[in-house]
């Protein structure tokens, strides 16, 4: 894991930009529309500053073996219509200040006012730490939507994102707060026939010990030895974030569940009253106007974000009020590790243990890609902590 990275705004915005209403009356001595106070951000209020972290990404890439085969070091066997790419990742997720009151005009109910937080996500493959490769860039906005009567919905959250491969997403959902750590259930990357998730079709590339499959990397021996890509992890990538959370003292967790089609009976909750959202793809991904022969049609995305309060102890060395110190957090749960900028009010003459807390973001995301008659789950997981040292005043 790299050290603290330089921070910069998630999205370049005009200095001083603040969303507002255009006055309905100008001049004539009449009063302009009153400015609306910034609506509550709800569960996304903790999305501030820049977070860094590590994770794991899996994707079955389509392959036209006759035209653009992926070069591999070992002879291959098995179906050649896809390549399973596995990535150990480093990630930066940065947030800009909230946009303020965003007016949405209503016809069948009165106006509502949203609030939003722009963000930027950058992910690098670090399977070879000496040669990081950029694999994902995503600008977007998280929105907080108040309860509405038309439609009859409670408060919701929305993630709007653009991915340069040619896909945009709009995923809506809800949030809730629990005491303690998250409940992280397994996720399965195994493909299945379109419309039939109950019939999973395993590919040779899902065997971590097979070094002759259509997979990048082909040989996982060093990753198995290091414990970074194992049979259990490939069978359930969520195991990475679950093991991390289980090894920590997490006192509370805000859970955000979003889906581009929340009441889809296949990949969502058919009893979920939410509707709206979706994915959109460029022509190349759709393949034809009806997407009956797609290159890689991203049909749906579902994700769970856990915003956790982590409690741990750190040891502060001897220091004085005019010499604040940077202290690394507990590394027993692995990377990433938070750091703390400790400013004592009085001199500390010997190592001193103190209790600290910080915000940690974990997520699991599945994008369902359709090609060659199958739906291929594309799963990404990560754990993120604040990039900058967390201020602690004693």
- The pLDDT of residue 234 is 98
**Is the predicted pLDDT of residue 215 greater than 90, yes or no?**
yes
CA distance 44 to 256: 9
Q: What mean pLDDT is predicted for residues 365-376?
A: 97
Evaluate the CA torsion angle 282, 287, 291, 297 in order and state its sign. negative
- The pLDDT of residue 338 is 97
Question: Which of 7-16, 22-31, 262-271, 344-353 has the largest mean confidence?
Answer: 344-353
pLDDT tens-digit map of 94-124: 999 999 999 999 999 999 999 999 999 999 9
**Least reliable range by pLDDT among 184-198, 205-219, 262-276, 327-341:** 262-276
- The pLDDT of residue 324 is 83
- The pLDDT of residue 30 is 47
CA distance 303 to 128: 27
User: Confidence band (pLDDT; 50, 70, 90) for 3?
Assistant: low
**pTM exceeding 0.85:** yes
Question: CB atoms < 10 A from the CB of 315, how many?
Answer: 11
Residue 131 tokens read as 């040669």
Query: Can you identify the CATH homologous superfamily of domain 42-312+356-388?
Result: Calycin beta-barrel core domain (2.40.128.20)
- The pLDDT of residue 14 is 45
Q: What is the mean pLDDT of the chain?
A: 92
* Sequence ranges of the domains in the chain: 42-312+356-388
Rounded alpha-carbon distances, angstroms, from residue 9 to 53, 98, 139, 235, 384: 18, 12, 11, 37, 17
**Is the predicted pLDDT of residue 29 greater than 60, yes or no?**
no
User: Confidence band (pLDDT; 50, 70, 90) for 155?
Assistant: very high
- The pLDDT of residue 32 is 47
Rounded to the nearest 10 degrees, how much is the dihedral formed by the CA atoms of 268, 171, 241, 163?
A: 130
Question: What share of the chain has pLDDT > 70, as a percent?
Answer: 91
pLDDT tens-digit map of 231-256: 999 999 999 999 999 999 999 999 99
- The pLDDT of residue 322 is 81
CB contact at 8 A, 116 and 144: yes
Q: Where are the beta strands (DSSP E) in the chain?
A: 50-62, 82-95, 102-104, 112-125, 133-145, 156-163, 167-179, 192-193, 215-216, 249-259, 278-281, 297-316, 325-328, 339-343, 352-371, 374-386, 390-393
User: Confidence band (pLDDT; 50, 70, 90) for 264?
Assistant: confident
CB contact at 8 A, 254 and 43: yes
Placement of tokens 């992910």 in the chain: 123
Nearest 5°: CA angle at 233, between 227 and 235?
A: 150
């Amino acid at each position: 894991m790299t050290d603290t990275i330089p921070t910069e705004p998630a999205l370049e915005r005009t200095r001083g930009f603040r969303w507002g209403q255009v006055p309905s009356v100008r001049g004539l001595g009449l009063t302009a529309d009153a400015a609306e106070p910034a609506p509550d951000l709800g569960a996304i209020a903790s999305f501030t500053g820049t977070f860094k972290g590590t994770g794991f990404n899996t994707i079955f890439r389509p392959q036209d073996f006759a035209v653009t085969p992926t070069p591999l070091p070992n002879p291959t066997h098995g179906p050649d219509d896809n390549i399973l790419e596995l990535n150990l990742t480093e990630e930066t997720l940065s947030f800009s200040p909230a946009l303020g009151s965003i007016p949405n005009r209503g016809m069948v109910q009165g106006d509502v006012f949203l609030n939003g937080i722009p963000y930027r996500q950058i992910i690098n493959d670090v399977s070879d730490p000496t040669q990081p490769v950029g694999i994902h860039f995503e600008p977007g906005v998280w929105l907080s939507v108040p309860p509405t009567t038309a439609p009859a919905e409670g408060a919701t959250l929305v993630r709007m994102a653009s991915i340069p491969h040619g896909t945009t997403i709009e995923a809506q959902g809800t949030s809730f707060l629990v005491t303690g750590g998250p409940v992280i259930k397994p996720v399965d990357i195994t493909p299945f026939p379109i419309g039939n998730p109950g019939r999973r079709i395993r590919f040779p590339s899902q065997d971590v010990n097979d070094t002759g499959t259509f997979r990048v990397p082909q040989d996982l021996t060093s990753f198995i030895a290091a414990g970074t890509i194992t049979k259990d992890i490939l069978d359930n990538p969520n195991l990475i974030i679950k093991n991390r959370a289980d090894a920590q003292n997490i006192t509370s967790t805000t859970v955000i569940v979003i889906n581009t089609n929340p009441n889809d009976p296949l990949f969502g909750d058919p009893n979920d009253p939410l509707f709206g959202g979706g994915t959109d793809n460029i022509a190349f991904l759709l393949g034809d106007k009806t997407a009956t022969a797609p290159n890689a049609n991203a049909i749906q995305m579902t994700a769970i974000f856990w915003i956790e309060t982590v409690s741990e102890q750190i040891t502060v060395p001897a220091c004085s009020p005019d010499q604040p110190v940077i202290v690394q957090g507990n590394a027993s749960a692995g990377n990433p590790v938070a750091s703390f900028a400790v400013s004592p009010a009085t001199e500390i003459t010997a190592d001193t243990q103190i209790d600290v807390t910080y915000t940690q973001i974990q997520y699991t995301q599945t994008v369902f890609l359709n090609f060659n008659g199958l739906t291929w789950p594309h799963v990404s997981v990560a754990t993120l902590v604040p990039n900058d040292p967390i201020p602690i005043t004693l």
